[in-house]
A and B are shown apart, each in its own frame.
Chain A
Amino acid sequence: MNLTALYRWLLLGEWRAHWIRVMVALIAIAVGVAMAFSIHLINTAAFNEFAAASKSLSGQSDLQVHGRKALFDEALYPLLANYGGVALANPVLELDVAVPGKLQNRNDHKLKIIGIDTFRAIQIAPDLLGLPEEGKTLDRFASDTIFLSPAAMEWLRVKQDDSLQLHAGLEVITLRVAGGLVRARAGQRIAVMDIGAAQWRFQQLGVLSRVELKLQDGINHAAFKARLAEELGESYVVTEQLDHEKRIANMSRAYRVNLNMLALVALFTGTFLVFSTQALSVIRRRHQFALLRVLGVTRQQLLRQVALEGMILGILGSLSGLVLGYTVAELASQFLGGDLGSNFFPGVKPSIHFNPLIALLFLGIGIVVTLMGSIIPALEAARAKPASALRSGSEDTAMAKLSAPWFAIGCLAVAILFTQLPPVFELPVFGYLAISLLLIGGIALMPHFTAWFFSVFLTYMPKKHRNTLLILALARLANAPNQAAIALGGILASFSLMVAMAIMVTSFRISIDNWLGQVLPADLYVRIVTSGDQGGFEPVAQQAIVVLPGFTRIDFFRVQQLLWDPNRPEITLFARPVDRADPRNTLPMTDDMLAPGSIPDDVMPVWISEAIADLYGYRVGDKITLPIAATASEFLVAGVWRDYGRQFGAIQMLLSDYQKLTGDLRINTAAMWLKNDVTMEQAVDVLRQLPFGPALEITRASDLRALSLEIFDRSFAVTYLLEIIAVVIGLLGVAASFSAQTLARVKEFGMLRHIGVLRRQILALLAAEGGFLTSLGILLGFILGWGISLILVFIVNPQSFHWTMQLYLPWRWLFAIAVILFISAALTALLSGRSAVSNQVIRAVREDW
Chain B
Amino acid sequence: MWIKHSTSIIACVTLFFSVLGIEVSAESGRLKPVTPDYNLSFPVDFGAHDDFRIEWWYITGWLETEDKKPLGFQVTFFRYATEQNHDNPSRFAAKYLIIAHLALSDPAVGKLMHAEKSAREGFDLAYAKPGNTEVKLDDWTLVREENGRYQVDMQADDFGLQLSFTPTQMVMLQDQKGFSRKGPKPEQASYYYSEPQLSVSGKVFRHHKHVVVSGRAWLDHEWSTALLDSEADGWDWVGANLDDGSALIAFQIRRKGGGKVWSYAALRDGSGNMTFFEPDQIEFTPIRTWRSPQTDAIYPVAMRIRTGEFEWLLTPLLDAQELDSRQSTAEVYWEGAVTITKNNKPIGQGYLELTGYVKSLTL
Contacts and interface: CB of A to CB of B under 8 A. Distances in A.
Interface residues of B, number: 27
A384 B139 CA distance: 87
B94 A135 contact: no
Given A141-B82, A197-B85, A199-B92, A78 B18 contact: no
A269 B82 CA distance: 68
Interface string B72-93: 0000000000101100111111
B119 A200 contact: no
Contacts of B123: 77-78, 81
A135 B330 CA distance: 11
Contact of A143 (B14, B91, B93, B117): B93
A196 B119 CA distance: 13
B118 interface: yes
Nearest to B88: A200
Contact of B82 (A119, A138, A200): A138
A128 to B, nearest CB: 15
A135 B90 contact: no
Contact of A196 (B16, B18, B92, B328): B92
Mostly, the B contact residues are loop
A91 B85 CA distance: 18
Interface in B153-168: none
Nearest to B94: A141
A87 to B, nearest CB: 9
A109 interface: no
B358 to A, nearest CB: 16
Given A196-B85, A196-B94, A200-B88, A78 B124 contact: yes
B212 to A, nearest CB: 25
Nearest to A89: B125
B120 A200 contact: no
Given A81-B125, A138-B16, A205 B84 contact: no
Contacts of A197: 85, 88, 90, 93
B16 A137 contact: yes
Given A119-B119, A196-B85, A137 B15 contact: yes
Interface string A674-702: 00000000000000000000000000000
Interface string A386-398: 0000000000000
B18 A195 contact: no
B14, B84, B119, B125 pick with most chain A CB within 10 angstroms? B84
Contacts of A141: 82, 84-85, 94, 97, 120
B297 interface: no
A122 interface: yes
B118 A195 contact: no
Contact of B125 (A78, A194, A205): A78
Given A81-B123, A196-B85, A137 B13 contact: yes
B278 interface: no
A137 B90 contact: no
B124 A199 contact: no
Interface in A95-144: 117, 119-120, 122, 135-138, 141-143
A195 B15 CA distance: 21
Contacts of A117: 92, 119-120
A135 B84 contact: no
Contacts, number: 72
A539 interface: no
A150 to B, nearest CB: 22
Interface in A130-164: 135-138, 141-143
Nearest to A208: B92
A136 B14 CA distance: 9
B94 A194 contact: yes
A194 B124 CA distance: 19
Nearest to B18: A135
B153 to A, nearest CB: 15
Contacts of B125: 78, 81-82
A206 interface: yes
Contacts of A78: 123-125
A157 B14 CA distance: 29
Contacts of B88: 143, 196-197, 200
A215 to B, nearest CB: 13
A89 B89 CA distance: 22
Given A81-B138, A141-B85, A135 B15 contact: yes
Nearest to A93: B92
A579 to B, nearest CB: 42
A137 B18 CA distance: 10
A245 interface: no
B206 to A, nearest CB: 15
B84 A142 contact: yes
Interface in B108-131: 117-120, 123-125
Contacts of A205: 89-90
A657 interface: no
A81 B117 CA distance: 15
Contacts of A119: 97, 117-120
A86 to B, nearest CB: 10
B254 to A, nearest CB: 22
A74 interface: yes
B360 to A, nearest CB: 14
Contacts of B94: 141, 194, 196
A122 B15 CA distance: 17
B154 to A, nearest CB: 15
Contacts of B120: 117, 119, 141, 196
B93 A137 contact: no
A119 B120 CA distance: 8
A200 B88 CA distance: 6
Contacts of A142: 84-85
Interface in B191-212: none
Given A78-B124, A120-B119, A141-B84, A91 B15 contact: no
A333 to B, nearest CB: 37
A701 B160 CA distance: 65
A143 B16 contact: no
Nearest to A74: B91
B90 A196 contact: yes
Nearest to B157: A217
B30 to A, nearest CB: 14
Interface in B312-363: 328, 362
A143 B93 CA distance: 8
A161 to B, nearest CB: 17
A137 B330 CA distance: 11
B14, B82, B92, B125 pick with most chain A CB within 10 angstroms? B92
Nearest to A196: B92
Contacts of A143: 84-85, 88, 93
A714 B70 CA distance: 74
Contacts of B18: 135
A141 B16 CA distance: 11
A136 B16 CA distance: 6
Contacts of B89: 200, 205
A120 B137 CA distance: 12
Contacts of B84: 138, 141-143
Contacts of B13: 137
A200 B84 CA distance: 13
Interface of B: 13-16, 18-19, 82, 84-85, 88-94, 97, 117-120, 123-125, 138, 328, 362
13 contacts: A78-B123, A78-B124, A81-B125, A117-B120, A119-B118, A119-B119, A135-B18, A137-B14, A138-B82, A141-B82, A141-B84, A196-B94, A200-B89
Given A137-B13, A138-B16, A200-B93, 16 more contacts: A78-B123, A78-B124, A81-B125, A81-B138, A135-B19, A135-B362, A137-B14, A137-B16, A141-B120, A142-B84, A142-B85, A196-B85, A196-B91, A200-B88, A200-B90, A205-B89
Interface of A: 74, 77-78, 81-82, 91, 117, 119-120, 122, 135-138, 141-143, 194-197, 199-200, 205-206
Closest 7 CB pairs of A and B: A196-B92, A141-B94, A196-B90, A196-B93, A135-B18, A199-B90, A78-B123
